[in-house]
């Protein structure tokens, strides 16, 4: 999936692929989109964190929705979210998707 595309903005075939893979894994497509976006960014930056603002923009998810999914992923030990006093933050992937 291209950076900056949301589930709603993807071409039909790519959306179907994401939906099918997410269903096969038993996760919401937004979760798979977040993990794949973090994975792609980690590969580019060799493991660096991605700001929540950029992650929100790349996935086209509202910040509140993104934070809700990130909370669940953090509880599962998949991502690490770091929040700053000013409300900004970043996320990084802790495990490689399979």
Question: What pLDDT was estimated at residue 45?
Answer: 83
Span 1-56, pLDDT tens digits: 444 444 545 556 667 888 899 899 999 999 999 999 999 999 888 778 999 999 99
Q: Is the pTM of this model over 0.85?
A: no
Architecture of domain 12-93: Orthogonal Bundle (1.10)
Q: So where are the chain's domains?
A: 12-93
Task: Name the percent of the chain lying above pLDDT 70.
Answer: 84
Cα 91-67-55 angle, rounded to 5 deg? 50
Span 68-90, pLDDT tens digits: 999 999 999 999 999 999 989 99
């Amino acid at each position: 999936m291209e950076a900056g595309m949301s589930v709603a903005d993807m071409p039909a075939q790519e959306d179907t692929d994401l939906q099918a893979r997410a269903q096969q894994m038993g996760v919401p497509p937004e979760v798979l989109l977040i993990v794949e976006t973090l994975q792609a960014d980690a590969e580019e930056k060799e493991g660096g964190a991605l700001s929540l603002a950029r992650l929100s923009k790349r996935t086209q998810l509202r910040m509140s929705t993104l934070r809700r999914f990130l909370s669940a992923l953090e509880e599962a030990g998949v991502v690490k979210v770091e929040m700053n006093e000013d409300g900004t933050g970043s996320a990084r992937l802790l495990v490689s998707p399979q």
